[in-house]
């Protein structure tokens, strides 16, 4: 099943235009600024996140959102200026990490994107029966309510900016064109 075309989503295009700024902010973060994703049974080892904005999160995820926004002021400004964004977080998986197959909880009218920020290679995303690779500086859009998983077979960490956002009517049409469903199930966080 092909993924929706990122160019059909103005918010993803805007993120791609901000890639250099986003990468610079990521590069300034100390490694220990990331926190392990608290749902330990969801992955093998080595998955950590740096949330800037989350609509919802597990109680066990302890994050100082204000400090994270100060550490990434341009990203925080982008999120603030785009109220359709429900989630914005760097998601890092170490070499050998496998985020097991799963489906996210449905939230009508919300879809997921990954902006490839630091992708040394050999990291893969499977959505249903198709495997996709990230290209640094480019976005991928997919319905997190479809079964998916992530693995890093490379020698270095893979970091994407995970952004969940509300769809416009035109964007819903693009999602339906690619993967028509009787009932849309676009959704949000499981944070992969």
**26-35, 75-84, 108-117, 179-188, range with the lowest pLDDT:** 179-188
Q: What's the CA gap between 156 and 148, in Å, rounded?
A: 22
At 179, is the pLDDT very low, low, confident or very high (cuts 50, 70, 90)?
low
pLDDT in tens, 78-113: 999 999 999 999 999 999 999 999 998 888 899 999
Confidence (pLDDT) at 121: 85
At 180, is the pLDDT very low, low, confident or very high (cuts 50, 70, 90)?
low
Annotated domain spans of the chain: 6-178
Whether pLDDT at 75 is above 80:
yes
Q: Which of 68, 90, 70, 88 is nearest to 79 (CA)?
A: 88
- CA angle, corner 22, sides to 119 and 148, nearest 5? 45
Task: Say how many Å lie between the first and final Cα of the chain, rounded.
Answer: 19
Q: What is the CATH number of domain 6-178?
A: 2.60.120.330
Confidence (pLDDT) at 178: 80
At 190, is the pLDDT very low, low, confident or very high (cuts 50, 70, 90)?
very low
Q: Which of 192, 191, 91 is nearest to 150 (CA)?
A: 192
- Which of the two residues, 40 and 32, has the higher pLDDT score? 32
pTM of the model: 0.90
Confidence (pLDDT) at 59: 76
Is the distance from CB of 103 to CB of 144 less than 8 angstroms? yes
Q: What's the CA gap between 102 and 84, in Å, rounded?
A: 24
pLDDT in tens, 119-169: 988 999 999 888 999 999 999 999 888 899 999 999 999 999 999 999 999
């Amino acid at each position: 099943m092909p993924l929706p075309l990122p160019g059909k989503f103005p918010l993803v295009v805007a993120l791609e235009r901000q890639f250099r700024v986003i990468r610079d902010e990521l590069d300034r973060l100390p490694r220990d600024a990331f926190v392990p994703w608290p749902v330990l049974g969801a992955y093998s080892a080595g998955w950590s996140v740096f949330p800037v904005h989350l609509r919802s999160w597990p109680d066990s995820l302890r994050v100082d959102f204000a400090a994270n926004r100060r550490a990434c002021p341009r990203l925080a400004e982008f999120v603030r200026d785009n109220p359709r964004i429900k989630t914005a977080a760097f998601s890092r998986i170490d070499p050998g990490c496998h985020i097991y197959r799963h489906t996210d909880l449905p939230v009508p009218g919300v879809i997921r994107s990954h902006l490839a920020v630091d992708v040394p290679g050999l990291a893969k995303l499977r959505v249903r029966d198709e495997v996709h690779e990230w290209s640094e500086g480019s976005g991928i859009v997919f319905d997190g309510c479809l079964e998916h998983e992530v693995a890093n077979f490379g020698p270095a960490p893979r970091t994407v900016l995970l952004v969940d956002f509300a769809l416009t009517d035109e964007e819903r049409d693009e999602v339906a064109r690619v993967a028509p469903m009787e009932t849309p199930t676009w959704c949000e966080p499981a944070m992969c």
